Chain A
Amino acid sequence: MNLLHRKKNKSNMQIALLLITGLVLGFIVIIQAKHFTNYIETIGRDSTENVFRRIQILKISNDELKDEISSLETQFEDLNDQAQSFATIDNDIKKDEIIAGETDIFGPGIELTIENNLNVVWFIDLTNELITSGAEAISVNNIRLTNSTMGFDPLPNGQIMINGVILQPPYTFQAIGDKEELNQILTNPIGILNRMNSAIKDFKYEISQKDRIDMKKV
């Protein structure tokens, strides 16, 4: 009887020891996992991809600003030369007419056609994405977006109006610029088209690179 009692006590002690070991083990596993999480968060807080994208945007932008400075310096020098000044002003007017949308234009680019009905935020984000990707001129269903174009106006019935015109699907976005780069940025795995594909049911689109896209004046 006594021997049976001692055996039972020993077995209980072993179970208690195993329980304590298990607890210590669990504690260590949690601490270890937490260390790894902290380690990843320290590096990934401002993710590498975002930092590189930010650096890339800033670098491209600064290069473009330098080009603009160079062009303005030439313009300034030419204005001080009587013979050159008339041609300079003429060129300036022609350039500003393009930006203001006062003349017909053309150039290489991309054409994106979306068959689904779209919420206003997709119009805003798509045009912004095209601008960020280097588009020089954009049109939506043949309406060219310039400083004089009004914003995308969401109507109470869910339709979108721009410049007094109600947009109907299929929506055709055209952009003049580096067609390969525009295509690549829009279609990359974290690009806007993939985000739209995840967010919109039965999302249907077609994108094509064009050697020539024509846009009428506003």
Chain B
Amino acid sequence: MSTSLKIISILVGVLVGLLVMAQFRTSTPLGSSYPLDQVRAQKELIKSYIDDETQLKSRIVSLREKIDQTLKDNKLISQTTNLEKLNELKKQIDLSEIKGKGFNINLDDSPYIDRDSIKPDEGGIVYAADIRDIINLLRANNVEGIAVNDQRIIATSPITSVGNSVLINNSHLSPPFNISVIGDYESFLVRISDPGVLTDLQKRVNENGIKFSIKQSPHIILPIYNGQFRLKFIKRTDESTS
């Protein structure tokens, strides 16, 4: 056996030895308790925030109803103040429940997808961007009101994706997404049949199995907006001193 072959054999042996050792010393994912504990703690923290949020939003709705009732009950207030104007404004900013004719759009992940164990660019799941695009199209079609899984959509409703989750009005929503709309069904059907709109979503409905359906309904009820309005930096020009 030549010397060079002997050296190569020794080097290969050493390398194999090192790799075998590394193999046995590497912790498997399940054996690594720290990262898994951390992930669990993060999930618990998120859950506690979501629980708090649900309670806070429910408190907001309850307070708004109480205020509304107090205004109705107090005759002096109703006779001497511009309650009509206030109620009209509340309708405009979605602080009142509305009912009417409309339709429901149902949007769901592909049945072959498990949302918890997918890659971020998977085509078979519904993204926040899909919901944003549909809502924009509905608004472009001049509908009267929109809610997604009972979250009333206002002009400043954030619709975001964090990981594989969808947050609307900062509330955590899971599929299927039911978009309830008060507005003209026929006109929206014509709009959505245009191949130039919602192109990415239409492609993924056809190719990746996303479920998308629209159903007309004579009785749509949209709930009152249950979130907050940010007015920390805005000032009215007519109250400006500068």
Measured between C-beta atoms, what is the minimum distance from A120 to chain B in Å? 7
Given A62-B53, A86-B80, A89-B77, verify A154-B196 contact (CB < 8 Å). yes
Nearest to A22 among chain B residues (CB) is B12
Interface string of B66-97 (1 = CB under 8 A from A): 11001100101100111101100110111100
Contact of A65 with B53 in the complex, beta carbons under 8 Å: yes
Interface string of A88-130 (1 = CB under 8 A from B): 0110111111111011111111000000000011001100100
Flag whether B7 is at the interface (Cβ < 8 A): no
Interface string of B22-44 (1 = CB under 8 A from A): 11001111001001100100100
Inter-chain contacts of A148 with B (CB < 8 A): 92
Q: Which of A76-84, A166-174, A200-208 contacts B (4 or more CB under 8 A)?
A: A76-84
Measured between C-beta atoms, what is the minimum distance from B199 to chain A in Å? 10
Q: Give the docked Cα–Cα distance between A68 and B93 (Å).
A: 15
Inter-chain contacts of B158 with A (CB < 8 A): 128, 131-132
Inter-chain contacts of B240 with A (CB < 8 A): 106
Measured between C-beta atoms, what is the minimum distance from A34 to chain B in Å? 11
Contact of B63 with A69 in the complex, beta carbons under 8 Å: yes
Main secondary structure of the interface of B (DSSP, over half): helix
Flag whether B193 is at the interface (Cβ < 8 A): no
Flag whether A28 is at the interface (Cβ < 8 A): yes
Inter-chain contacts of A106 with B (CB < 8 A): 234-235, 237, 240
Contact of A177 with B155 in the complex, beta carbons under 8 Å: no
Taking a contact as CB atoms closer than 8 A, the residue among B9, B53, B233 that contacts A177 in the complex is: B233
Contact of B23 with A31 in the complex, beta carbons under 8 Å: yes
Q: Give the docked Cα–Cα distance between A47 and B84 (Å).
A: 50
Inter-chain contacts of A85 with B (CB < 8 A): 74, 77, 81
Main secondary structure of the interface of A (DSSP, over half): helix
Q: Which of B99-107, B135-143, B174-182 contacts A (4 or more CB under 8 A)?
A: B135-143
Chain B interface size band reads 35 or more
Flag whether A156 is at the interface (Cβ < 8 A): yes
Nearest to B171 among chain A residues (CB) is A61
Q: Give the docked Cα–Cα distance between A57 and B52 (Å).
A: 13
Q: Give the docked Cα–Cα distance between A128 and B131 (Å).
A: 12
Inter-chain contacts of B26 with A (CB < 8 A): 32, 35-36, 39
Contact of A96 with B89 in the complex, beta carbons under 8 Å: yes
Q: Give the docked Cα–Cα distance between A145 and B8 (Å).
A: 72
Measured between C-beta atoms, what is the minimum distance from A32 to chain B in Å? 6
Taking a contact as CB atoms closer than 8 A, the residue among B8, B81, B139, B230 that contacts A150 in the complex is: B139
Inter-chain contacts of A39 with B (CB < 8 A): 26-29, 32
Q: Give the docked Cα–Cα distance between A18 and B12 (Å).
A: 9
Inter-chain contacts of A8 with B (CB < 8 A): none
Q: Can you sample 16 A-B contacts with CB below 8 Å?
A: A28-B20, A35-B28, A42-B35, A57-B170, A58-B50, A62-B52, A92-B86, A99-B89, A106-B240, A107-B233, A121-B133, A124-B132, A131-B157, A147-B154, A151-B137, A151-B139
**List of 6 A-B pairs having minimum Cβ-Cβ separation, nearest first:** A151-B139, A151-B140, A61-B170, A96-B89, A104-B237, A58-B49
Known: A32-B22, A76-B63, A100-B92. 5 other contacts (CB 8 A): A17-B9, A51-B162, A75-B67, A136-B232, A136-B233
